[in-house]
Amino acid sequence: MSTTKKIQSALISVFSKDGLEPIVRKLHEQNVTLYSTGGTEDFIKNLGIPVVPVEDITSFPEILGGRVKTLHPKIFGGILNRQDNESDVQQMKEFDIPQIDLVIVDLYPFEKTVASGASEQDIIEKIDIGGISLIRAGAKNFKDTVIVASVNEYSLLLDLITEQDGATTLENRRLFATKAFHVSSHYDGAIFNYFNTDETIYKESIANGQVLRYGENPHQKGFFFGDFDAMFNKIHGKELSYNNLLDVDAAVNLIAEFKTDGPTFAILKHNNACGLASRKTISEAYLAALACDPTSAFGGVLISNTKIDLETAQEINKLFCEVVIAPAYDDEAVTVLQEKKNRIILVQNEVELPSRQVRTCLNGLLIQDRNNITDNKEHLKTVTITEPTAQEIEDLIFASKICKNTKSNTIVFAKNGTLISSGTGQTSRVDALIQAVDKAKAFGFDLNGASMASDAFFPFPDCVELAKKAGITAVIQPGGSIKDELSINYCNENNLAMVFTGTRHFKH
């Protein structure tokens, strides 16, 4: 039997009618018999095209407020019969079951209904039963049946039946079946996640993935699964790479810590901040951030917590950078930034980030809640005789926000709303501190009167000893070591102020 089949009959039962009309007209033009239900049936009739109501086949009306329409042996027999199976062929004749070659379905919008904040009763009513069953039946029998499971596939179907005069190949039908099983599994996953309260069960389905040029290195394949267009409007530049996306993610998380602060600008490289400053204007903040480490800023990702104006754009334009991110731009600023052909310019939208973070580990996944704690004045407990000044408190919190978003082990130095330097990703906290001191000296920064943040406690007083020698006058750390008193005593003996937050901020 030929694997190329001509569509002679179609069952159409859809939620979304967008894009359906040209398909219906093309099928009618090709003398395809149309079967339908409810609103879709009315839609086809209003086009002046003949349509057979499903109840004429089943001899049974829609019941239970439309909950049961297509669930009938004469419908599913027409979809599931094997045309090369003699027993199936005989039963089709015996029970007067019509052949159904094409099934077009678009499910009730369950996810949109949940997202709208609808009542549970309305949400339950948007759990599609007949449609999902039709999808599974058509996809299972792709050898003989074409299944179109979503409005997203309408155009593909129209192109196919137009170009091939209503015929489909086995390869065509397998492709539609694959897409259909994706639709059904995604739909069921969304329903499960709505009901699920067991945190030890994890299901995730992301429908909109994209292929990247490559992964972290050119020999690795790379993909992004997520709705990038919901988070950003990309107004200029080349396609983002795997590494760009990692840096953008780090930048978004970091600048979120300063969302309600004054004008703040950050520059990131390899997921860590190499420059960050808060000032009265965003231009001043950018220049101060750049001065933190102009060497590392080359080829970095830049992000602002407020609109980028012309003055700032003109300064940015002097630097080679991969990505610029801001919630808004002056028109003149965009014109200047677009002068570099490949520079990626993103407008960040207000989008809620996932509440959990997921990463591969061994032969499975590690999942954790997002670190939503940002240290503030209310969290601080002064544990030394010397209390931090008002400016030191501001700098301690400033440094802590950066520290939270920097790879562990980390030490961050800050002064007057400016990142002075940091030690990142070191195997010991002492190494991180030494790195931060050396870096500050390399760029000519005076650490006298600066504040220091650590992402975890000090098990020994060596860190505060080194900090004191470097000129640090105030320290913020989570506390919690059984040897906290050693560091506290050293600070008391040497007039250092130290505060505990009670919250560790490891980032691996």
What tokens appear for 417 in the block?
């709303």
What CA–CA distance (Å, rounded) separates 79 from 234?
Answer: 44
What is the C-alpha separation between 369 and 354, in angstroms, rounded? Answer: 9
**Number of neighbouring beta carbons within 10 Å of residue 241:** 19
Q: What is the distance between the alpha carbons of residues 68 and 59, in angstroms, rounded to a whole number?
A: 13
Q: Which distant-in-sequence residues (6+ apart) come within 8 Å of 197 by Cβ? A: none
Joined together, the tokens standing for residue 109 give 């919008």
Are 497 and 487 contacting, i.e. CB atoms less than 8 angstroms apart? no
Known catalytic membership, residue 140: yes
Q: Residue 356: beta bridge partners?
A: 369
Concatenated DSSP letters of 400-435: HHHHHTSPSS-EEEE-SSBEEEEE-S-SSHHHHHHH
Set 182, 234, 270, 340: catalytic member: 270
Name the active-site residue from 6, 17, 140, 236: 140
Instruction: Tell me how many degrees the CA angle 189-192-195 measures, rounded to the nearest 5.
Output: 150
Instruction: Dihedral sign for Cα 188, 190, 193, 194, please.
Output: negative
Residue for token digits 């007949």? 130
Angle at 214 between CA 213 and CA 220, to 5 degrees: 160
Phi and psi at residue 476, to the nearest 5°: -125, 130
Residue owning tokens 């379905």: 105
Determine the 3-state secondary structure of 101 from DSSP.
coil
Half-sphere exposure of 423 toward its Cβ, with a 13 Å CA cutoff? 23
Q: Which residues of 95-134 are buried (b: 16+ CB within 10 A; e: fewer)?
A: eebbbbbbbbbbbbebbebbeeeeeeeebebbbbebbbbb
Separation between Cα atoms, residue 383 and residue 389, nearest integer Å? 14
Residue 219: active-site member: no
d(CA 129, CA 127): 6
- CA gap 113, 125 in Å, rounded: 10
* Helix H or strand E segment including 34: strand 33-36
Beta-sheet pairing, 52-53 with 33-36:
parallel
Report the catalytic residues: 140, 270
